[in-house]
Structure 1
Amino acid sequence: MTEPFTQAPGERKVLTADESATGRLDSWLAAALDGTFSRNRIQALIKEGSVTVNGTAVREVRHKVAPGDTIELTVPEPEAAVPLPEDIPLEIVFEDDDIIVIAKPAGLVVHPGAGNRSGTLVNALLHHCGGSLSGIGGVKRPGIVHRLDKNTSGVMVVAKNDFAHNRLAEQFADHGRSGPLNRAYLALVWGRPEQLRGTIDAPLGRSGADRTKRSVHRTERPDSRHAITHYEVRDRYGEAGGADAVASLVECRLETGRTHQIRAHMQHIGHPLIGDPEYGGAFRTKVNKLPEPAAAAVGRLDRQGLHAYLLQFAHPRDNRTLRFEAPVPADMASVIEALSMI
Structure 2
Amino acid sequence: MIKKGRKKRRGSSQSKTTHLTVKEPSELLNFLLEHLSNRSRNSVKSILSRGQVSVNGQVITKHNFPLEPEHQVSIEWRKGPNIELTGLAILYEDNDIIVIEKESGLLSMASSKEKELTAYSQLMAHVRSSHPENRVFIVHRLDRDTSGVMMFAKSQKIQQHLQNTWRESVLERTYVALVEGEVKKDKDTIISWLKETKTLMMYSSRKPNDGQKAVTHYKRMQSNRHFSLLEVKLETGRKNQIRVHMKDIGHPVVGDKKYGSKSNAIGRLGLHARVLAFRHPATGKTLRFEAKVPKPFRKPFKEPKKR
With normalisation by structure 2, the TM-score equals: 0.65
Matched, 1:334 2:304: no
Equivalent residue letter for 1:250: L
* Letter aligned with residue 124 of structure 1: Q
Compute the displacement of 1:145 (Å).
0.5
Q: Deviations over 1:262-286 (max 9, x none)?
A: 00000000010111111134x34xx
In the alignment, is the contact (CA less than 8 A) between 1:111 and 1:122 conserved in 2? yes
Report if aligned partners of 1:187, 1:273 keep a CA contact under 8 Å in 2: yes
For 1:166, the equivalent position in structure 2 comes to 160
Residue matched to 2:134: 132
Question: Please, which of 202, 209, 215 is the counterpart of residue 214 of structure 1?
Answer: 202
Structure whose CA Rg is larger:
1
Q: Which has the higher helix share?
A: 1
The DSSP-based 3-state class of the residue aligned with 1:181 is strand
1:229-240 to structure 2, matched below 5 A, reads: 229-237=216-224
Q: Cα–Cα, structure 1 residues 110 and 335, in superposed 2: closer, same or farther, change >3 Å?
A: closer
Counterpart position of 2:190: 200
For residues 92-122 of structure 1, what are the alpha-carbon distances to aligned partners after superposition, in whole Å with 9 as ceiling and x for unaligned? 0001111110001111111121663331111
- Which digits, 9 at most, give the CA deviation of each residue in 1:68-97, with x for residues without a partner? xxxxxxxxxxxxxxxxxx964340000111
- Give the Cα separation in 1 of the matches to 2:115 and 2:176: 29
Aligned amino acid, residue 132 of structure 1: N
Q: 1 CA distance for matches of 2:113 and 2:301? A: 35
The verdict on how the C-alpha distance between 1:168 and 1:246 changes in structure 2, with shifts beyond 3 A counting, is same
Asked if 1:324 is matched to 2:284, the reply is no
TM-score by length of 1: 0.59
Residues 138-287 of structure 1: pairs in structure 2 closer than 5 A: 142-172=136-166, 174=167, 176=168, 179-207=169-197, 211-219=199-207, 224-237=211-224, 245-281=225-261, 283-284=262-263
Question: Higher strand proportion, which one?
Answer: 2
Deviations 1:154-206 (A, max 9, x none): 0011101233223322332x2x4xx5521100000111223211100011111
**Partner letter of residue 339 of structure 1?**
F
Q: 2-side partners of 1:336 and 1:106: how far apart?
A: 16
> Aligned residue pairs: how many?
217
RMSD value over aligned CA atoms? 2.2
Q: Is the 8 A contact 2:192 2:208 kept in 1?
A: no
- The aligned amino acid for 1:322 is L
Residue 205 of structure 1 aligns to a residue whose secondary structure is strand
State the identity %.
38
Contact kept? 2:227, 2:300, Cα under 8 Å: no
Q: Which has the higher contact order (CA 8 A, sep 6+)?
A: 2
Q: Contact 2:180–2:227 (CA<8 Å) still a contact in 1?
A: yes
CA–CA separation in structure 2 for the residues paired with 1:316 and 1:257: 19
**Structure 1 residue 303: Cα displacement:** 2.4
**Counterpart secondary structure, 1:158:** strand
- Counterpart amino acid of 2:212? R
Structure 1 unaligned regions, length at least 5: 1-85, 134-141, 238-244, 288-297
SS of 1:155's partner is strand
